[in-house]
Amino acid sequence: MNQKIKIIAIFFLGLFISFNMIEMSHAVKIDIINSNTGGDVTKNKLIKKYIPKTNITNQVVEAAKKGTPMVTFGNGKGPRVLIVAGVHGNELPSQIAAVKLINYLQGKKIRGTVYIIPFAIPSNTAKTKRYWKGRSPNAIAQYSGTPTNKIVKLAKKLKIDAMGDFHCTRPIGYPGKSAILYTKYPEYQSYKMAKYMSKKSKSALKGYKKAGFYFKGALEDVCNLNGVPSVTAEALSWHGTVKKGSVTKSFSQMNALLKYKKVI
Q: What is the per-residue pLDDT for 2? A: 53
Q: What is the DSSP letter of 206?
A: E
Q: Is 12 domain-assigned?
A: no
Q: What is the per-residue pLDDT for 25? A: 36
Q: Is 48 domain-assigned?
A: yes
Which band of pLDDT confidence, cut at 50, 70 and 90, is reported for residue 73? very high
| Pairing between β-strand 230-236 and β-strand 80-85 as defined by DSSP bridges | unpaired
When mean pLDDT is compared across 1-5, 22-26, 71-75, 116-120, the lowest value belongs to: 22-26
Q: What is the pTM of this model?
A: 0.90
Q: What is the per-residue pLDDT for 21? A: 32
Contacts 24+ apart (CB under 8 A), 154-157: 154/33, 154/70, 155/82, 155/223, 155/226, 155/228, 156/226, 156/227, 156/228
Residues near 131 by Cβ (< 8 Å), separated by ≥ 6?
124, 137
Which band of pLDDT confidence, cut at 50, 70 and 90, is reported for residue 99? very high
Q: Is 188 domain-assigned?
A: yes
Q: Is 10 domain-assigned?
A: no
CATH number of the structural domain spanning residue 246: 3.40.630.10
Task: Kindly state the helix (H) or strand (E) to which residue 115 belongs, with its residue range.
Answer: strand 113-117
What is the domain extent for residue 95? 29-260
Residue 163 CA to residue 152 CA, distance in Å, equals 10
Q: Is 150 domain-assigned?
A: yes
Q: Is 224 domain-assigned?
A: yes
Q: How many domains does the chain have?
A: 1
Q: Is 72 domain-assigned?
A: yes
Q: Is 156 domain-assigned?
A: yes
